């Protein structure tokens, strides 16, 4: 596959948020501080691929995804969609692209308008984008989207309101509304974390099928077990950077970065005989206003050496093929 045909390519993305100084800070002319939420993130996503962006809260995974969709403005870096640089397109130029990249949020209770029936909720994106042709053709697209998310027969669901649906059904409606325009890229931000265990697997299997049909999926999750099951590749973020990236099986079974190793070691296993030997990191990640010099993980790293205070490691090949880690001691 040529680079030009690549669905998504993100290169050295940087996103900052200003920190409010407060009235006292403003009058005292204290320097403005910034949160370096995303601090040099690069990755690619192909058609039919599911990439899981994992990490703890505040690591920048959601900011990364929202910036990729141009819902937030980057300070630096480049976002290419099908080889076209979309980093600095204006809102008007973005409009035709919007229907090709869609997002599903964590909470289907909030993302669906309680006053809209399922029919209206799934039809709305078509109306907004003046897509889908005549009313009858739109109705057909809505039915088709509901079939694809396995709300069938669609007739059973079309006239229901969100409060009449279970959590899993609501999330399926949200996915139907996201795919009705036939996007090529779907960002799924913690798509199952609000759902009960018994229905999670069904929604994830649905995303998996959409991926097989050619959709590129960028899944944001804090749940490594879910990523291990459903992702083709996993990228682990810490404090605004990807610190490790590779094929899911390889990252999970042969982690190269000490942060990934620690993170994997504390995931509880469902079999009581598989007693985990957690390697618990003390404290919590520092805030992204004061990112440590050198390797940003060194203050919490169990194996840090002197060089780690000075060298900010780049993501380089480590472990198996296509596997990379940002650690001078990896490999």
Partner 1 sequence: MSSLLELDDLHVWFDLGEGRELHAVQGVSLSLDAGQRLGLVGESGCGKTTTVLGLLGLLPPTASVSGRVVFNGKDILAGGEDSIRPHRWTDLAIVFQGAMNALNPVQTVSAQIVEALEVHGSASGRAARSRVGELLEAVGIPRDRGNRYPHEFSGGMRQRAAIAMALACNPSVLVADEPTTALDVMVQAQILELLDALCRDFGLALLLVTHDLPVVAQLCDRAAVMYAGEIVEQGPVDALFHDSRHPYTRLLFAATPDLHSDGALAAIPGAPPRLDRPLEGCPFHPRCDRVFSRCPHEHPALKRLDGDREAACHLNDVPAEVA
Least Å from the CB of residue 117 to partner 1: 20
Least Å from the CB of residue 55 to partner 1: 9
Produce one character per residue of 265-277: b if its CB has 16 or more CB atoms within 10 Å, e if not.
Answer: eeeeeeeeeeeee
- Residues in the interface with partner 1 (CB under 8 A) total 43
Least Å from the CB of residue 193 to partner 1: 10
Cis peptide before 153 (omega within 30 of 0): yes
d(CA 318, CA 245): 10
Least Å from the CB of residue 155 to partner 1: 19
Choose among 9, 41, 24: nearest CA to 288. 41
Q: Residue 191: phi, psi to the nearest 5?
A: -65, -20
Strands 241-247 and 324-325: antiparallel
Least Å from the CB of residue 50 to partner 1: 14
With binding defined as CB under 8 A, does residue 303 bind partner 1? no
Strands 233-238 and 50-54: parallel
Least Å from the CB of residue 206 to partner 1: 10
First to last CA, the chain: 28
With binding defined as CB under 8 A, does residue 284 bind partner 1? yes
Choose among 128, 108, 130: nearest CA to 118. 108
With binding defined as CB under 8 A, does residue 56 bind partner 1? yes
d(CA 141, CA 266): 44
Mask for 230-259, x = binds partner 1 (CB under 8 A): -------------------x--xx------
With binding defined as CB under 8 A, does residue 164 bind partner 1? no
Region of 70-78, 154-162, 223-231, 320-328 interacting with partner 1 (CB under 8 A): 223-231
Q: Please identify which residue in 71, 128, 156, 205 interacts with partner 1, judged by CB under 8 A.
A: 205
Tokens of 89: 């397109």
Query: What are the start-end ranges of the H helices in the chain?
Result: 22-27, 61-68, 91-98, 108-111, 118-128, 135-148, 167-179, 197-212, 224-230, 248-253, 258-265
Q: Please identify which residue in 24, 136, 272, 321 interacts with partner 1, judged by CB under 8 A.
A: 272
With binding defined as CB under 8 A, does residue 22 bind partner 1? no
With binding defined as CB under 8 A, does residue 204 bind partner 1? yes
Region of 14-22, 80-88, 137-145, 272-280 interacting with partner 1 (CB under 8 A): 272-280
With binding defined as CB under 8 A, does residue 212 bind partner 1? no
With binding defined as CB under 8 A, does residue 289 bind partner 1? no
Least Å from the CB of residue 280 to partner 1: 5
Strands 8-19 and 216-221: unpaired
Region of 63-71, 155-163, 180-188, 200-208 interacting with partner 1 (CB under 8 A): 200-208
Choose among 225, 243, 230: nearest CA to 295. 243
Q: Which residues bind partner 1 (CB under 8 A)?
A: 56-57, 166, 168, 196-205, 222-226, 228-229, 249, 252-253, 262-264, 266-276, 278, 280-282, 284
């Amino acid at each position: 596959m040529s680079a030009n045909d690549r669905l998504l390519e993100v290169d050295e993305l940087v996103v900052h948020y200003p920190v409010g100084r407060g009235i006292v800070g403003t009058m005292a002319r204290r320097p403005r501080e910034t949160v370096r939420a995303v601090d040099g993130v690069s990755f690619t996503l192909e058609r039919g691929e599911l990439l899981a962006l994992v990490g703890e809260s505040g690591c920048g995974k959601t900011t990364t995804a929202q910036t990729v969709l141009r819902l937030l403005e980057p300070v630096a870096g480049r976002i290419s969609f099908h080889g076209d640089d979309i980093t600095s397109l204006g809102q008007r130029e973005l409009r035709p692209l919007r229907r090709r990249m869609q997002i599903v949020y964590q909470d289907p209770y909030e993302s669906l308008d309680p006053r809209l029936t399922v029919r209206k909720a799934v039809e709305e994106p078509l109306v907004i984008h003046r897509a889908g042709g005549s009313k009858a053709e739109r109705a057909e697209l809505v039915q088709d989207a509901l079939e694809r998310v396995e709300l069938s027969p669609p007739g059973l669901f079309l006239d229901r309101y969100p409060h009449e649906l279970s959590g899993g059904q609501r999330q399926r409606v949200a996915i139907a509304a996201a795919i009705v325009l036939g996007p090529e890229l779907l960002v799924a931000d913690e798509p199952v974390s609000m759902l009960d265990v018994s229905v999670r697997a069904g929604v994830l299997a649905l995303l998996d099928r959409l991926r097989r049909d050619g959709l590129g999926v960028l899944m944001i999750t804090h749940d490594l077990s879910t990523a291990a099951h459903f992702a083709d590749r996993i990228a682990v973020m810490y404090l605004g950077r990807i610190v490790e990236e590779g094929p899911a099986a390889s990252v999970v079974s042969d982690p190269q970065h000490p942060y990934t190793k620690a993170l994997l070691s504390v995931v509880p296993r469902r079999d009581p005989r598989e007693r985990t030997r957690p390697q618990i990191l003390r404290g919590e990640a520092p805030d992204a206003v004061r990112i440590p010099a050198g390797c940003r993980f060194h203050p919490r790293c169990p194996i840090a050496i002197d060089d780690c205070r000075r060298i900010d490691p780049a993501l380089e090949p480590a472990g198996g093929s296509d596997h990379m880690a940002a650690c001078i001691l990896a490999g």
